[in-house]
Each structure stands twice: as structure tokens, then as C-alpha cells.
Structure 1
């Protein structure tokens, strides 16, 4: 199987390394210093399961130069996806599958506006991994858990085939989702809320969980986001307390949501696609979102980075 990794950051870098270890033909769509490092030096992964260093990779900033792949895994930040999505067509053949594994709930719609619907899958990933420097991935979690479903319809043979390929990789656990929209929203309700409160408090996962007041705010914000999902027809429970806590329970306590890492480093934030999406979709669904509205307004001054 030929796999294209779109975006060589924390998630894409991790999966690209693992797929390489399994002997698959991996190609990388990247840019800037990450592209240069991939081509000239390679990529290194630091992980509790063991460190891995790979030599020079097949990488380009041109989808045309890379050519078609059997599977395209899209991991770029959502604020880059709108401009990138139309450029991905040269990676697609008649039977190519496209798997977005991004934060937020809008990746599928952004890709569907530009690419054939029959190519698109939906997915969600749980991992604590970041790009420490070009070509260096630091993953603190001893796991990478992925759920996959079809973009439309019931998962079939191609999803099962992709699941089998990914499950053959070291440090990757993949399952077919019984309801991928619910799974995407479960993660989104947790992540948007944890990101908002962690950024407002400038606090790690453990610090938020250890503070009764901050933890209460996260749960309230997650229930707010879940109410938006239910307003849009997603079958989420009315109380998402356990849903939220179960997703962060085995995360490294000194870990920080990626949006907090970006905030502290002065990088652009995914705010528009986390709390911003809760607010925007809440208006669409007629659901009030006071906590996420507050977080969005306070953090908006940092949204474009330094």
C-alpha cells in the first residue's frame, strides 16, 4: 500500500514513522523546514515505546510530483486545510481513500467541497504528540488510538483493509467506529473545552484536573459543546462528564493541549475551529454557548500568533 502523509507534524509524523517501520511505501506532502529535513536528513520519533530514526524520505511540496497514493492521511491544522484541500487531487486515483485525522468537526466538510465524496473517510485520533523541531516528533503517550468510518454509508471492505494495515503498525490501535460522527463529536466536546480552559488558565492537563474549579469549567464547557452537537442531530449523551474524563485519564498529566503549546510558543491557534466552531455551530443550531463565547473572545487576540 502506498500512503501519503499530508502534514509532518505531531500526528502525521508519528503515523508516517510507524507506517515506514511496517515496510509500507510512505510519501510526504510537507513544506518549509520540515520538507527540507525530511528530504535531506529524515525523521526521528521519541516515544515511550522506543525511539526511532529514519533516513531521507520521499517528500515534496507538490502533490503532482508525489503522484497517486492508495491512502491519503490528512493531518494539517484546520486553518491550512481550506487552501490545501483543492491541491490534493493529484494524490487521488480511482480507489484512493482519504482519511482526515484533525481536531474539530469540520474537516470532512472542507474536504468534501473539493474532493470526490466517494474517496472520503471520517476519523478521529487520540495521541499526545508534537513536532519539537523539523524532523523531530516527541510523543508522550504510549498509544495512538484511531477510530475510522465511511464518509457516507456503512463501513465496508476498504475500511477493514485500512484498519488491518494500520493495526499492523507498532504503537497504533485502530477500530471501525459504530457511529463515527458521535465519536468525532465526543473528542471535539472534550478537546475544545479542555483547550479553552487550559489556555485561559495556562495550565497542563494534570493541573486542570487537580483544580476543582477548573475541572468544573471543563465539564460545563463540554456539556455546552455536546448540546450543540445534539442540536445538529448527533446522538450525544446529556451529561458528558464521564465521556470527558475517560478521554484524558491516561494522558500524561504534564501534557498540554496542542492549542496551549501553540499559545505559549506564539504560534497561530486553532481557536476558530475549536471554541469558534462551538459558537458558530451553536448559532446555527439555536443553542447558547456562553462559556465558549467567552473563551473565544478572550483568546482571539492571540489567534494569529506573534
Structure 2
């Protein structure tokens, strides 16, 4: 099974590293700077907040696939790890590097980008996946996982093979047939991405501030109301049910610290991918995360002023860098 990671940044390189260590033939479709970093450091180094550390070299790194996609044999599985707003621009390339039995797995945060490309890629099997943990690129080609969780994928024969291989290496991989509740549940947690970028603090430090937590609680409450109006149940990622998260986040610091030990069991330096995008002067995925709350709120008649304000703040940060 030949696997490609299309748009291998922080999350894509972490996924590639785990797949390589699980025995798969993995190719990276990446920026020249990523390729140079990996070559200069003799591979992708994976680390996590629990002390894992290992280095592996991917089979192939491709930087010119847009110019000559036919130079490469078709891949059996393609993980698309680009940002949401980049997905629609690569449909022709994805057609060129896949066959009728290929699986293309879209690993984007938020809502909207998958629906935009579904019809154009009907020649093969389209799946969705999520990364329910934080990954940041560090120095010396190291990609660090700062929070708990395992890659979560939609179930088919390809992903079942991937799950077995990854579990054999103690990486873990969750599979679900229906990804709607999973993705909508992940969006609830992703609402903190923007607030982490706005506060410009490590996530653990940000969550120690009650004012920031209460803003997050308000954004989450709006999303929960939207999902109730849409009659969608959210997948539970934490020890408490989704509807209890705003309540716990709003509690005084001492009570929150006692009740939210799992939420705080993260790397002290972990930050969100949106913070990373702002620092790198890249366009963010805000319209597909908090912006999705606003859009669906209008569709179902639910007011979302907190998420609207967060979207506006992120756009200001994008313009100021």
C-alpha cells in the first residue's frame, strides 16, 4: 500500500513519521523547506509530552508534484493535511495521483472544505479524519505532540490496515463509520485555537486564566446551541459530556484545576496551530472553525456574538502581521 501525505506540515509530518514507523511506504508532498529540514536532520523526529522520541526517514519527498504529477505512480491512500482554504485548489492533482480504488482522506479542522471538493473527486473513495491533538514543529526537524489523543479516521479497508499496523507500534488509531458526530465534537474543542492565538500564551497557561476560559465557555455554548438546533449529537472527547465543558471552564481557578486534570495534562509549551499560523504570517482556518459556528448559527436561527467577535479579532491579527 503506497501512501502519500499531501501538504506535509506539522501534523502531516507527525502522521508520516508514525506511518513510516508502522512499516508503510510513505511519500511526503511538501514544501522545499520541509524537505530540506528533514534531509538536514537525517529524518523526521517525533516526540511527545510523555517522553516518546524517535527518528525515521520517509521513502520519498516530492516538492514539484504540481508541475509533473504524472511522473509518479498512483497512490493507494492520500492523506490531505493542507489547511482548509487550500484544499479546493488541488483537486486536479489529486485526480492525477490516484486511481479508482484509492482512498483520499481529508484531515482538515473545522467544517466546509470537504463538501467543496466532494463532487470533483467522485472517481475514488473519499474519507475524513481528524487529529485530536496538538503538534508543533520545533528545531532540528522535530515534530512534538503536546496533548493526548490518537489519529481518528473514517473506516474502510485501507484505514483498517493502517489501524492494525499503527496499533502494533503502540501508536493507536481510532476508526468510525460516521464522522459527523466526531468532527462536530472536535470543532467544540477547536474553538480554543483562535483564543490561544489571541492570548499569545501556551495553552496550559491560557487555561489558567479564568477570563480566557469564560470566553471559551461562551464560544462553546453557542456551538452547543447550534448543534441542538441542528439535532446533531457531539462525540465526547473528554471525561465529561460536551454540554458540561462550558460549566467547568467557567468555574473559579481552584475548582477548575481540581476538576480538569485531564484537560491540563499537556505539554507546558503546547500552542494551537492557529497561533503557529499567525506567527508564520499565514492565513488561518478561522472561517472553517469559529466562522462555521457563525454560518450555521445564522442557518438555524441561533445568535453567535462571541464567535463573531473572535473571528473579527483573528482577521485583525492576520492583517497586522
The bucket for the TM-score relative to the shorter chain is 0.7 to 0.9
Residue of structure 1 aligned with 2:53, choices 50, 53, 57: 50
- State the partner residue of 1:15: 15
User: Are the aligned partners of 1:31 and 1:60 in contact in 2 as well (CA < 8 Å)?
Assistant: yes
Could you list the per-position Cα deviations for residues 57-114 of structure 1 after superposition, in whole angstroms to 9, with x for gaps in the alignment?
Answer: 3424314333211111111111211212332112221211111122112242133132
| Cα distance in structure 1, aligned partners of 2:298 and 2:262 | 27
Distance 2:267 2:198 in 1: 20
Return the offset for 1:283: 1.8
Which residue of the partner structure matches residue 262 of structure 1?
Answer: 277
What is the match of residue 211 of structure 1? 209
Equivalent residues, number:
298
Please, what TM-score do these two structures have when normalized by structure 2?
0.81
Q: Does 1:97 align with 2:103?
A: yes
The unaligned stretches of length 5 or more in structure 2 are 235-240, 250-259
Separation (CA, whole Å) in 1 of partners of 2:289 and 2:79: 21
Give me the whole-angstrom Cα distance separating, in 1, the residues matched to 2:60 and 2:201.
36
Match of 1:125 among 128, 131, 134: 131
1:78 and 2:81 aligned: no
Moved more, 161-170 or 257-266: 161-170
Q: Over aligned residue pairs, what C-alpha RMSD do you find?
A: 2.9
SS at match of 2:198: helix
Deviations 1:164-201 (A, max 9, x none): 2333345x311222642111111111112x12322332
Distance change in 2, residues 1:205/1:89 (3 Å): same
Secondary structure of the residue aligned to 2:109 is: coil
Verify the 8 A CA contact 2:84 2:113 in the aligned structure 1: yes
- Could you tell me which runs of 5 or more consecutive residues in structure 1 were left unpaired when the two chains were aligned: 150-154
Q: Secondary structure at the match of 1:145?
A: coil
**How far apart are the structure 2 equivalents of 1:87 and 1:178?**
27
Which of the residues 142, 146, 159 maps onto 2:151?
146
TM-score scaled by structure 1?
A: 0.84
- After superposition, the C-alpha distances for 1:40-64 in whole angstroms (9 at most, x for unaligned) are 8753214131131427734243143
Quote the Cα distance in structure 1 between the aligned partners of 2:199 and 2:276: 13
Q: Who is 2:243 aligned against?
A: 239
| Structure 2 CA distance for aligned equivalents of residues 40 and 168 of structure 1 | 29
What is the DSSP-based 3-state SS (H/G/I as helix, E as strand, rest coil) of the residue aligned with 2:136? strand
Give the C-alpha shift of residue 142 in structure 1.
Answer: 7.1
Q: 2:146·2:270 contact (CA, 8 Å) conserved in 1?
A: no
SS of equivalent to 1:114 = helix
Distance 1:139 1:303, change over 3 A: same
* Aligned 8 A contact 1:35 1:61 in 2: no
